[in-house]
Amino acid sequence: MDDLGKLSQSTDNVADNTFVRLRMLSYFVFLLFLILISRVWYLQVIKGDEFRDMAKNNSIRNLQVEAPRGFIYDRSGQILVKNRPSPTATMRPEALKDDPMIVDKLSKVLVMSTADIMVRLNNKKYDPLKPRPIKEDLTLSEIAYLNEHQGELKGVNLEVRSVREYPFKDMAAHVLGYVGEVSDSELKKMSEESYTAGDTIGKTNLERSYEPYLKGLKGSQIVEVNAAGKQIRRLSRNDAIPGNSVVLTIDTKIQKAAEQALVNSIGRAHRQKFPRANAGAIVVMDPNNGDVLALASYPKYDPSTFINGITNDEWKTLNSKESGYPLIDRAVDASYPPGSTLKPIVAYGALKEGIVTATTSFYCAGRWIGFGKKWGKYCWRRSGHGATNLGKAIAESCDIYFYNVGYKFQQQKKEKLQYWSRQFGYGEKTGIDLVSESRGRVPDAAWKREFNKKRDPKNVSWLPGDTVNISIGQGDFLATPLQIAYSYQAFANGGKLYEPRLVSKILDPKLMTMKTIPPVVSREFDDKSYINQVRSGLRRVVTEGTAKGAFAGFNVPVAGKTGTAQVFGKDDYALFVGMAPYDDPKYVIAVIVEQGGHGASVAAPAVREILGSIYGLKDKVRDVSDSSR
């Protein structure tokens, strides 16, 4: 140690011993410095890269930027669903470890119980690294408080989230559907798509079926944060691409009218001593292109309930018998016996199969004994219709005529009744853009064998009575209101079935059309004369038949068919399918009121109301008491 060289020139006053000890001390100090410098070398040079990465991970965060979801417009460009900003308080779960009192502080600020905060904080669905939303739609004073007290509330952040807004409240909720947080099972299913826990996803109906268009593309930004997790600066940014918008064929005016008419029909049913009427559906279609102009289902729900996450209680209520299961879209997802509304289809099939001609006549004495006197079946009009041909049978909805037709179909043993029903779209999905569409049911021998194998093993073989029952739209035959409207397009436009079209256009984020969805003809019936024979029968329903009373004094020429379907253990279901104007129908309207009683007196007036509203008529719908089917 040269620096200590002078120690050797020790002065007389320092004892030799002291000198030696100082020298020992200085060697010891040298050793300590060696230790420190080797440690510095180890940390900075040997482990330097490792620590540099750790420093980066500490302060550099890659944040997702949510893409604004696309809007949904009606056919005239009115906004049905848009987004609005929702100021949200979020909290990083680790913040609790740094400050155990933070939840108490938050509970005072946000006026929430600590238990509620803990529930949201411990929500396992979330990415553990992501801040969890604690309270949405903060008030201005809550925002101000959080901003001022950031220092005391480390780990709590203010985020502006984009949430759905419904300018027309619950209107068309069943068409639009709702959005919510992506669930575990959805995450598993869509692993290849870029969803992470906490993301928003369309849950039902259009929001679901157009999810790939509506959701857009998430962006990201790389930010630097401080030790408290607060963002200091943005290092790079990759903008989110907003979702595409969807233009519907729905006409808001008609949709509103249909929803109102449905409510009115239920009231009408109650006045006609059918107090159990509590649900129903209406479908309005344009038979010239398949556009769905309105889809109403009752009872309704408010999709905004789902915006900030639905509570368990709310969810239970929406799925309870008491509330009438409002989440079900009865126009599309629910199947009903079509009752007499199936008769025009049966009639067309009978004409095609040569079972009847327009002039073939059966005598209706109110009772049919094709299976022997013991097995007599009755017409809804016990006094009978007398000699009845096809036109009259449709107009008067004569059951005896159709029992005869059904019996003849049965004798053919070719299941042609089922065949023609399927030709009109029954028993299969129409292909509307709604994921939970029901296919209804066209029963046949194969179905019955399979269906009853376990439930009713003694009753697996198809009986002639089964075919006869189907011929009046009963038995095990089921159809959705949409299927019924869909099938009547053929009678309205002279033989074509258009696929129900709910979305006409998709717009990019700049609102330029990126995709047009043209009308699609799914089936065409070439026997115009048969179609027209049935069609004129449908006109007679309104002019002289079962719906004469319902449309008395109405200025628009309407054609249609009443239906009163029997459901075991329940009051009759009221149905009506109408089309107008008769000469060149622009609208096909199917109405069903569960346990509403008679089609003519409960369902038909709904069609009159909707048409009155479409044509701007000052029409007053009076209650008629018509017990025809």
Partner 1 sequence: MKINLLNITKKLDLTLVGLVLLLVAFGEVMIYSATYFNAPEGDSYYYLKRQLLWFLIGLPAVVAIFFIDLKKWTNYAIFFYAGNCILLVMVFFFESTLGAQRWIQVGPFSIQPSEFIKLIILITLSSYFAARKGEIGGRDILVGLLYLLIPLGLIMLQPDLGTSLVLLAIFFGAIFIGGADIKNIAILLLAGMVLFFGAYEFNVLKDYQIERLTVFLDPESDTRGAGYNLIQSKIAIGSGGLFGKGLDAGSQSDLGFVPISYADFIFAVIGEKTGFFGLLLLLGMFFFLLIRTFQISSQARDLFGSLVAGSIAVMWVFQLFVNVGMTMGIMPITGIPLPFISYGGSSLLTNMVAVGFLLNVSADRYR
* Cα 285 from Cα 435, distance rounded (Å): 19
Judged by CB, which is closer to partner 1: 122, or 412?
122
> Residue 25, interface with partner 1 (CB under 8 A)?
yes
- Residues 137, 142, 224, 476: which binds partner 1 (CB under 8 A)? 224
Nearest CA-CA partner of 471 in 411, 557, 526, 522: 411
* Cα 378 from Cα 400, distance rounded (Å): 7
- Residues 232, 387, 463, 511: which binds partner 1 (CB under 8 A)? 232
Catalytic residues: 340
Quick one: which segment of 1-9, 118-126, 158-166, 520-528 binds partner 1 (CB under 8 A)?
1-9
- Tell the smallest beta-carbon distance from residue 514 to partner 1 (Å): 43
Judged by CB, which is closer to partner 1: 97, or 124?
97
> Residue 36, interface with partner 1 (CB under 8 A)?
yes
* Cα 550 from Cα 618, distance rounded (Å): 16
> Residue 226, interface with partner 1 (CB under 8 A)?
yes
- Go through 84-94 and write b for each residue having 16 or more CB atoms within 10 A of its CB, e for each that does not: eebbbbbbbbe
Contact 561, 541 (CB under 8 A): yes
Judged by CB, which is closer to partner 1: 10, or 288?
10
Judged by CB, which is closer to partner 1: 150, or 516?
150
Judged by CB, which is closer to partner 1: 37, or 144?
37
Count Cβ atoms within 10 A of the Cβ of residue 273 and give its class: 0-12 exposed, 13-18 middle, 19 or more buried.
exposed
- Residues 33, 315, 363, 378: which binds partner 1 (CB under 8 A)? 33
Quick one: which segment of 29-37, 424-432, 438-446, 526-534 binds partner 1 (CB under 8 A)?
29-37
Contact 226, 232 (CB under 8 A): yes
* Cα 288 from Cα 14, distance rounded (Å): 118
HEC letters along 182-240: CCHHHHHHCCCCCCCCCCEEECCHHHHHCHHHHCCECEEEEEEECCCCCEEEEEEEECC
- Residues 40, 160, 446, 511: which binds partner 1 (CB under 8 A)? 40
Terminal Cα distance for the chain, rounded? 118
> Residue 18, interface with partner 1 (CB under 8 A)?
yes
Interaction residues for partner 1, span 252-311 (CB under 8 A): none
Helix (H, G, I), strand (E, B) or coil at 573: strand
- Tell the smallest beta-carbon distance from residue 108 to partner 1 (Å): 25
Cis geometry, peptide bond prior to residue 581 (ω within 30 degrees of 0):
yes
- The footprint of partner 1 on this chain (CB under 8 A) covers a number of residues equal to 50
> Residue 44, interface with partner 1 (CB under 8 A)?
yes
- Find all residues with CB under 8 Å of 499, minimum gap 6, and list them: 290, 430, 431, 432, 519, 520, 521, 522
- Beta bridge partners, 356, equal none
Interaction residues for partner 1, span 152-181 (CB under 8 A): none
- Tell the smallest beta-carbon distance from residue 508 to partner 1 (Å): 40
Quick one: which segment of 51-59, 84-92, 498-506, 522-530 binds partner 1 (CB under 8 A)?
51-59
* Cα 90 from Cα 99, distance rounded (Å): 15
> Residue 184, interface with partner 1 (CB under 8 A)?
no
Interaction residues for partner 1, span 90-129 (CB under 8 A): 94, 97-98
* Cα 576 from Cα 629, distance rounded (Å): 10
* Cα 514 from Cα 506, distance rounded (Å): 6
User: What single-letter DSSP state applies at residue 46?
Assistant: I
Strands 72-73 and 245-248, bridge-based pairing: parallel
User: What single-letter DSSP state applies at residue 338?
Assistant: -
> Residue 454, interface with partner 1 (CB under 8 A)?
no
- Per-residue string for binding with partner 1, 55-74, x by CB under 8 A? xx-xxx--------------
Judged by CB, which is closer to partner 1: 34, or 160?
34
Contact 352, 420 (CB under 8 A): yes
> Residue 151, interface with partner 1 (CB under 8 A)?
no
- Tell the smallest beta-carbon distance from residue 56 to partner 1 (Å): 8
Judged by CB, which is closer to partner 1: 35, or 446?
35
- Residues 14, 119, 235, 387: which binds partner 1 (CB under 8 A)? 14
- Tell the smallest beta-carbon distance from residue 103 to partner 1 (Å): 17
Count Cβ atoms within 10 A of the Cβ of residue 488 and give its class: 0-12 exposed, 13-18 middle, 19 or more buried.
buried
Residue position matching structure tokens 């696309």 = 70
* Cα 386 from Cα 2, distance rounded (Å): 135
Judged by CB, which is closer to partner 1: 47, or 453?
47
Angle, alpha carbons 467-471-473 (nearest 5°): 110
Contact 134, 107 (CB under 8 A): no
* 58: phi then psi, degrees, rounded to nearest 5: -60, -45
Judged by CB, which is closer to partner 1: 41, or 315?
41
Judged by CB, which is closer to partner 1: 8, or 359?
8
- Residues 101, 111, 115, 227: which binds partner 1 (CB under 8 A)? 227
* Cα 310 from Cα 326, distance rounded (Å): 15
Cis geometry, peptide bond prior to residue 457 (ω within 30 degrees of 0):
no
Contact 545, 396 (CB under 8 A): yes
* Cα 142 from Cα 226, distance rounded (Å): 24
> Residue 234, interface with partner 1 (CB under 8 A)?
no
- Both tokens assigned to 88: 């949200």
- Find all residues with CB under 8 Å of 9, minimum gap 6, and list them: none
Interface residue list for partner 1 (CB under 8 A) = 3-4, 6-7, 9-11, 13-15, 17-19, 21-23, 25-26, 29, 32-33, 35-37, 39-41, 43-45, 47-48, 50-52, 54-56, 58-60, 94, 97-98, 224-228, 232
